Chains A and B, each alone.
Chain A
Amino acid sequence: MINFLQNHIFYIGAFGLILIGLFIMISKRNLIKVIIGLSILETGVNLFIVSLGYLHKGTAPIFSKSGLDVQKMVDPVPQALVLTAIVIGLAVLALALSLTIRLYNHFGTLNLQKIKEQKW
């Protein structure tokens, strides 16, 4: 049990976050709660991608001195991908919230059930 936990604790954390984020997006009716669920989902996915490149007893991929051990460095490619993904997540969230403000000024409510019933 401890061996299984030690090997897979990061995967369990990342997938738990993805499932909780999905549940918030499916079952909540307020629009801002749905966007909070989207933010938690993106954090979970980024955690999963970075934990794919881990090496047991490794070091960070930076050459602070000249002759460091090359065999023990952690994979740098997933870190470059996640750096891009975090910034783009912020851009998507800002645009979604500006559309939410516009929707509130037009309909007067943020409840998705009531917005669907109004139908222009």
Chain B
Amino acid sequence: MIIIIGLLVLLMFVAAIAALIFKDLISAVIAACIVSLIAAILFYFLHAPDVAMAEASIGAALVTTVFIIAIKRTKRYEE
């Protein structure tokens, strides 16, 4: 039980550091979406189903959409 939560937190750190390092902005946005999704799973382990639904639908779907539309209208690669 504690091993599963520990592995999920480690995966979340790896995804957040990947959002720091990537130079292609769309890859960085997808890494931030992975952070949001794992946070939704951790909200379920904390016995909060309302918050898990809100984070999964708003944080992982709509925020990623808004970011990708904004990147399409500006530059794609960080210089």
Contacts and interface: CB of A to CB of B under 8 A. Distances in A.
20 contacts: A2-B2, A5-B6, A16-B13, A20-B16, A30-B79, A32-B67, A33-B28, A33-B78, A36-B67, A43-B55, A51-B46, A58-B47, A79-B48, A79-B51, A86-B51, A86-B54, A90-B62, A90-B66, A93-B66, A101-B74
Given A9-B5, A82-B51, A101-B74, A94 B12 contact: no
Interface of A: 2, 5-6, 9-10, 12-13, 16-17, 20-21, 23-24, 28, 30, 32-33, 35-37, 39-40, 43, 46-47, 50-51, 54, 58-60, 62, 74, 79, 82-83, 86-87, 89-90, 93-94, 97-98, 100-101, 104, 110-111
Contact of A46 (B5, B19, B55): B55
A50 B49 CA distance: 11
Q: Which of A23, A39, A62, A93 has the most CB of B within 10 A?
A: A39
Contact of A10 (B19, B20, B46, B55): B46
Contacts, number: 126
Main secondary structure of the interface of B (DSSP, over half): helix
Interface residues of B, number: 40
Q: Which of A2, A30, A36 has the most CB of B within 10 A?
A: A36
Contact of A50 (B17, B19, B51, B79): B51
A24 B51 CA distance: 26
A79 B46 CA distance: 10
Interface in B1-48: 2, 5-6, 9, 12-13, 16-17, 19-20, 25, 28-29, 32, 35-36, 39, 42-43, 46-48
Given A21-B16, A33-B25, A86-B59, A46 B46 contact: no
Given A21-B16, A46-B39, A97-B66, A60 B47 contact: yes
Contacts of A101: 70, 73-74
